[in-house]
Amino acid sequence: MTNTRTDFHPSIDPITREIIGAALASAAEEMAVGLHRTARSTIVRDALDFSTSLCNGNGEQIAQGTTIPLHLGAVPYALETMFTKYGDDICPGDVFILNDPFQGGMHIPDIFVVKPIFDGDQRVAFAVATAHHLDLGGRVPGSSACDNTEIFQDGLRIPWLKLYDKGKLRQPILDIIRANVRVPDMTIGDLRAQLAACHTGEQAIFRIIERYGTETFINCARDLIDYTEALMRAEIAEWPDGESTFVDYMDSDGCDGPPVRIQCKISVEGDSLTADFEGTDPQVPGAINSTISYTASAVALCTRAVMKMDIPNTAGMFRPLKVIVPHGSVLDPKMPGASSMRGVTGFRKVDVIMGALAGIVPERVLAACEGGNSLVIIGGMRKGSHQPYVYYELVSGTWGARPDRDANDGLCNPGNVAGNIPIEEAECNYPIRIERYGLRKDTGGAGRYRGGMAVDREWTLLEGDAQLTIRSDRRDHLPYGLAGGKPGSGSMNILRRADGEVELPVMVSTPMAAGETIYHQQPGGGGFGDPLTRAPNAVAIDVRADRVSVQAARDEYGVLLDEDGQVDIKGTEALRNERSG
């Protein structure tokens, strides 16, 4: 039995709701474009590590830009803690700021900027801009290291504060930030870009209110959330009731320790879904611990990703979902657990949730992707000026194969919307040279549909000494295949020094000297379906496109090719019959 809502506000007709909903989505996109264009740092401007959203006057999300999906659940959690601290002390002209993971934030580098929006004396909305900052102090450049062992090493913690109080800037807050970060001009510049994005969202809300009136806007915002809930419940109600459990691992605890287990049981009953992470490992010494809001985001993201219909980005998507996370686990750590590198945990949560969903709706779930964006940070002092620099690279990425088609190659993990730093940008602004950037043959998992190819990238440090930090994964626990598909290849980190090569752990912080080269290869995506059922012509096309070698065509797919690269039909048929027994 379902309890899908049909009691939407009687004064809001579906056409008005659709128009205002589209206007809100457009406003969130406009915020994102403005933030992107005015940001100073490469991590925001080029890697696109930010998000924008709009909430109603109660702090419930009513729109989000097409930015990072794993930020979906963070804003409601954050605003809830803001209300707890400030209550009714939220006034026109106020702007709030936060990054503390233990007060509703996600990790130290992510700063929330929140602007309440008033129509006269009535609070009608909030504009929110979240950005990953290039540096917020802490133990290493970039404020992120997997082997940080407490949050105090991650960087400067900012509790909920008023950056603007009734329109007046509280300059000491910016002074404290500036004094504690390695690249203050970029950090403050990105903060100002966030402020501008919030102003853009405010102006968009005013335009909607001017056209439709305050009451209609408020009712429609509420109605839009209810409508999202109804869509979610209607879709989940079509799924078979049942339970499915999946377990996956991260290779390390962040301090070169043992693998970390993440377990999720998905239960579908009627029009509701429960994600229970009991069985997940306790919080770890390293900085890969993740906040509960990030876990809720992953559940919402995965549930939405397997739906057939388009769902508005509102708080209504969370209402049919119940998320159970053991406190003190790697998914909800206790103080003072470090969390600056929690991104890898977020990506593994996505793989685990998708693996569990494959037991409920197998025809809608793709095989494991590359394990998430790899993070490479090189930080040091510039020659001559002796000014600090922080080079921050998110290496993206590839997908797992889907139930009806091959994976995407060289496309960011579905859990994120991020880009690689352009080579020209990196080499013009940092003392590095990029030696290689491409896709690796024979790395996608074999299957009826092929997994995505691994991305690799190689950097040489041109001057001085630097601190190298790498966050990667999936070297030992490969991206899984589904329905008989094979796993993708593993990751690799090689530091090339004058006296030879050193294979580095998947998660590491280490010195780097001028002339040394770091090579990173991401994992490949998992395959879907039995490789012996892949169309031989598709294998031949992959060989000609240099995605698959002739040897792998034979060994993995049972396909023989002649000297011209065409399928040897009789030989292939005989080989596949022999393999299938």
Q: Give me the residue label for tokens 């009712």.
A: 219
Digit-coded pLDDT (tens) for 120-148:
999 999 999 999 999 999 999 999 999 99
What is the domain extent for residue 160? 14-229
- Which residues of the chain register pLDDT less than 50? 1-6
Both 520 and 548 in a single domain?
A: no
397 upstream amide cis, omega within 30 of 0: yes
Both 99 and 177 in a single domain?
A: yes
Q: Give a yes or no: residue 515 inside a domain.
A: yes
Confidence at residue 34, expressed as pLDDT on a 0 to 100 scale: 96
Give, to the nearest 10 degrees, the angle between helix 536-544 and helix 550-557: 150
Q: Give a yes or no: residue 517 inside a domain.
A: yes
Both 399 and 506 in a single domain?
A: yes
Digit-coded pLDDT (tens) for 248-277:
999 999 999 999 999 999 999 999 999 999
Both 493 and 421 in a single domain?
A: yes
Confidence at residue 62, expressed as pLDDT on a 0 to 100 scale: 96
Q: Give a yes or no: residue 134 inside a domain.
A: yes
Confidence at residue 453, expressed as pLDDT on a 0 to 100 scale: 97
Structure tokens at 103: 């007060």
Report the alpha-carbon distance of residue 111 to residue 99 in Å, rounded: 5
Both 132 and 198 in a single domain?
A: yes
Tell me which of 229, 244, 265 is where a domain ends. 229
Confidence at residue 174, expressed as pLDDT on a 0 to 100 scale: 97
Nearest to 343 by CA among 469, 455, 430, 521: 469
Q: Give a yes or no: residue 214 inside a domain.
A: yes
- Residues 128 and 73: beta-carbon distance below 8 Å: no
Both 181 and 69 in a single domain?
A: yes
| Overall domain count for the chain | 3
Nearest to 393 by CA among 100, 46, 124: 46
Give me the half-sphere count of Cα atoms (radius 13 Å) on the Cβ side of residue 493.
20
Q: Give a yes or no: residue 119 inside a domain.
A: yes
Q: Give a yes or no: residue 289 inside a domain.
A: no
Both 540 and 421 in a single domain?
A: no
**Residue 63 forms beta bridges with which residues?**
54
**Residue 522 forms beta bridges with which residues?**
none
Both 458 and 575 in a single domain?
A: no
Both 67 and 172 in a single domain?
A: yes
Both 19 and 149 in a single domain?
A: yes
Both 526 and 540 in a single domain?
A: no
